[in-house]
């Protein structure tokens, strides 16, 4: 038992790391990774929703009728997203403003609904918790990696999460590579990272 729980957790960190292995939930990945701070904030918010909804759906899995399960899952997820929204408004208002509509849009993040349908609806509470946490942390790591890449090249700074302090990485003569922080850079950067992941390991 203990071994399988660990396995459920670690598969989210490498074997099924979103969005590289599971190509789901691309929109927040592309949109919020302009700075490291936004990337980490979004990752934590998504992880919270993922873990809570996985646990609750796993608890309710025998009660929810098969025919209306998707609707039930969406209600559960939307509830937790509302919780995140309210908590962020209270304690992390600047970050909430920066992430904007992408916080309510966690509801339609395919990763969350995908895990509910593919995993939590069929497995026990402990395994679902481990699965949600693993996938969530994997998602946060991917967002952070992409954000570090884009922020350092695109604006030449590194923003430490939570403290909002930007440290210039290069000297004063650095000309920011604006392409990276704009939309085209996001697509190209993610595409190249996916390519590197494909080179590193075969599934």
Partner 1 sequence: MSDYILLVVSCIFVNNILLMQYLGNCPFLGVSKRMETATGMAMAVVFVLVLAGAITWIVDHYLLKQFGFEYLRTLAFILVIASLVQFVELFLRKSIPALYAGLGIFLPLITTNCAVMGVCLINIKEEYTFIQALITSFSYAVGFGLALILFAGVRERILLARVPKPLQDTSIGLVGAGMMSLAFFAFKGMV
| Interface ranges with partner 1 (CB under 8 A) | 23-27, 30-31, 70-71, 74-75, 78-79, 81-82, 85-86, 100-101, 104-105, 107-110, 113, 182-192, 194-196, 198-199
Q: Which is nearer to partner 1, 22 or 137 (CB)?
A: 22
- Residue 200, helix vs strand vs coil: helix
Closest separation in Å from C-beta 108 to partner 1: 4
Tell the smallest beta-carbon distance from residue 125 to partner 1 (Å): 24
Q: Which residues of 24-40 are buried (b: 16+ CB within 10 A; e: fewer)?
A: bbbebbbbbbbbbbbbb
Name the minimum Å distance from CB 29 to partner 1. 8
**Residue number, 7 or 144, with CB nearest to partner 1:** 144
Largest CA distance in the chain: 63
Least distance from partner 1 to the Cβ atom of residue 88, Å = 12
Closest to partner 1 by CB, 33 vs 140, is: 33
The percent helix, strand, coil of the chain (3-state, each to 5) is 70, 5, 25
Rounded to the nearest angstrom, the gap between the alpha carbon of residue 201 and the centroid of all alpha carbons in its chain is 21
Write down the least CB distance from residue 178 to partner 1, Å: 11
Could you identify the residue written with the tokens 């290069």? 170
Reduced to 3 states (helix: H, G, I; strand: E, B; else coil), residue 159 is strand
Q: Which is nearer to partner 1, 30 or 148 (CB)?
A: 30
Q: How many helices (H) and strands (E) does the chain have?
A: 8, 2
**Least distance (Å) from partner 1 to the CB of residue 23?**
5
Q: Quick one: DSSP state of residue 120?
A: I
Of the pair 22, 51, the CB lying nearest partner 1 is at: 22
Return the structure tokens found at 57: 């759906």
In the bound state with partner 1, the residue whose beta carbon lies nearer, of 28 and 129, is 28
Distances (CA, A) of 9 to 78, 127, 166: 24, 8, 33
């Amino acid at each position: 038992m203990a071994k399988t729980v660990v396995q459920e957790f670690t598969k989210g960190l490498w074997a099924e790391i979103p969005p590289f292995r599971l190509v789901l939930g691309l929109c927040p990945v592309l949109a919020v990774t302009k700075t490291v701070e936004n990337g980490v904030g979004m990752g934590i918010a998504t992880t919270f929703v993922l873990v809570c909804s996985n646990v609750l759906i796993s608890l309710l899995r025998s009660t929810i009728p098969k025919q209306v399960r998707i609707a039930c899952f969406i209600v559960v997820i939307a509830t937790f997203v509302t919780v995140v929204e309210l908590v962020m408004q209270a304690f992390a208002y600047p970050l909430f403003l920066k992430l904007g509509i992408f916080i309510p849009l966690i509801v339609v993040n395919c990763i969350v609904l995908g895990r509910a349908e593919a995993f939590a609806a069929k497995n026990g509470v402990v395994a679902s918790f481990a699965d949600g946490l693993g996938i969530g942390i994997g998602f946060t790591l991917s967002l952070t990696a992409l954000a570090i890449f884009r922020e350092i090249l695109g604006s030449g700074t590194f923003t430490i999460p939570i403290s909002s302090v930007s440290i210039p990485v290069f000297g004063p003569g650095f000309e920011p590579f604006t392409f990276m922080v704009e939309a085209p850079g996001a697509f190209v950067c993610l595409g190249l990272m996916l390519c590197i992941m494909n080179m590193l390991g075969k599934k």
